[in-house]
Amino acid sequence: MIYEEIIRGITDGEAEEVAELSKQALAKGYPATMVLEKGLLAGMNKVADKFRNQRVMVPEVLMSARAMHAGLSILEPYIKSKKKTNRTGSIVIGTVAGDLHDIGKNLVKMMAMTTGVKIIDLGVDVSSKKFINIVRKEKPDMLMMAALLTTTMPMMKQVVDELEEVGLRQGLKIAVGGAPIGETFSREIGADYYFESASDVKLFLEENLEKIIIKRKS
């Protein structure tokens, strides 16, 4: 099945193959969101599991990420154009300062987009000052932060603490994620949510986004 081929291409880090398979899947009528979820996302989840269990090293993860990006570049226009919704709400997302990895962030971004929410993507190596300035300007319903390196995890707490200091924390839901992140760490730094995978983000937003928006506006 083409999903299995895409998964294998992701785990092997074959960017050109994944791009071509993604094109083939669309040509055969597979929905872009399904190719994303059952192909690209499933493949990266396998890689992430291996990384957590120290069965692959960072260079191998980055090869898989390159393959994932190749597939995303094919799917993204279709996901954007096919989703029509009246849903409001916005999410600021970024990888914290000192970390140049955008593997998980981009997957979360794509999965979140399928719910119709507005995504403000700050990219990678985002300083606490930049996070705070955007939160102040955009007044999002959620802030999502990602990290792949254990050395950059403390930056998440710095962002949470500084948001508190400047009076922007109240009512803002904060979520964190990334290979080294866990539920315990999330609670310790004062985040509201921890997501293990991009699929979890999608399910959460579908079930809870409207409630978060209403509470944020009240």
pLDDT on residue 218: 67
Q: Are residues 117 and 100 in the same domain?
A: yes
For residue 82 the two structure tokens come to: 């096919």
- How many independent structural domains does the chain possess? 2
Evaluated on CA atoms 85, 88, 89, 95, the torsion sign reads positive
Q: Where among 82, 105, 128 does a domain terminate?
A: 82
47 and 149, same domain (yes or no): no
Query: What CATH number should be reported for the domain holding residue 199?
Result: 3.40.50.280
* Residues sharing a CB contact under 8 Å with residue 151, sequence separation 6 or more, in sequence order: 98
pLDDT at 82: 44
Are residues 170 and 108 located together in one domain of the fold? yes
Residue type, 133: N
The DSSP secondary-structure symbol of 85 reads -
CB 5 within 8 A of CB 21: yes
Type of residue at 9? G
Q: Which of 64, 82, 100 is the last residue of a domain?
A: 82
In this structure, are 32 and 104 located in the same domain? Answer: no
Averaged over successive runs of 10 residues, the pLDDT of the chain (218 residues) comes to 95 95 96 92 83 76 87 86 58 96 84 87 97 96 94 97 96 92 96 90 88 79
Which of residues 82, 111, 131 is at a domain's end?
Answer: 82
Residues 37 and 104 in one domain: no
Are both 64 and 108 inside the same structural domain? no
pLDDT at 215: 79
Please check whether residue 23 is in contact with residue 72, taking contact to mean a CB–CB distance below 8 angstroms.
no
Domain that holds residue 62: 2-82
- pTM (2 d.p.): 0.78
- Find the CATH number of the domain harbouring 25: 1.10.1240.10
**Whether residue 123 is found in the same domain as residue 152:** yes
204 and 168 assigned to the same domain:
yes
Torsion of CA 167, 129, 152, 108, to 10 degrees: 80
Q: Are residues 161 and 213 in the same domain?
A: yes
Residue 42 shares a structural domain with residue 97: no
Question: Smallest Cα–Cα separation from 182: which of 217, 147, 143?
Answer: 147
* Whether residues 30 and 100 fall in one domain: no
pLDDT at 212: 86
Residues 114 and 78 reside in one and the same domain: no
